[in-house]
Amino acid sequence: MATDRDQLYRKMAARGKYQRLYIYLGGLTKQEWRTTFREIESIIGFPLPPSARLHWPWWSNQSRGSGHSQALAWGAAGWETAEVDMEAETLLLRRKRKAVAQTFNLDEVLPVHSAGGWPEDLSLRREDIYEDRI
């Protein structure tokens, strides 16, 4: 089902307000892209809202199913914000690391160690346990 949700997010980003940013990022082949707010404005074709220049959270990455249209655009394209300099109006975007599903062999993680055989003189019989106390 995660793949269906990812496809839905990509479709939303491709039709959304920041679709030009989504398309642009989808075409980049590098792992990092350092840019300016003005360059992003030239890509999207309209000025960023004042909150983009005033509030750092505007540049926050979104978690699944939450966030804003701009974060959906770069997130669905496979990118995330890494550094935001509000004073210089610069931004570093990095490609998201793909989560690698790891499988573990339980015998490798927790190897079985033999404790040896049961000692012949060890008994759990009640009579043997309390024998010395009477």
User: Could you tell me the mean pLDDT of each successive run of 10 residues in the chain, 134 residues long?
Assistant: 70 82 92 96 95 94 76 90 96 82 56 68 72 58
The letter for the amino acid at 57 is P
How is the chain split among helix, strand and coil, in percent rounded to 5?
Answer: 45, 15, 45
Q: Which helix (H) or strand (E) holds 74?
A: helix 69-76
| Whole-number pLDDT of residue 125 | 76
Residue 102 placed within a domain: no
| Whole-number pLDDT of residue 80 | 94
| Whole-number pLDDT of residue 66 | 62
| Whole-number pLDDT of residue 30 | 94
Residue 113 placed within a domain: no
Residue 63 placed within a domain: yes
Residue 9 placed within a domain: yes
Q: How many domains does the chain have?
A: 1
Domain span holding position 56: 2-95
Residue 116 placed within a domain: no
| Whole-number pLDDT of residue 65 | 56
Give CA–CA dist 64/51, Å, rounded.
22
Residue 126 placed within a domain: no
Instruction: Please state whether 6 falls in left (phi above 0), alpha (psi between -120 and 50) or beta.
Output: alpha
Residue 133 placed within a domain: no
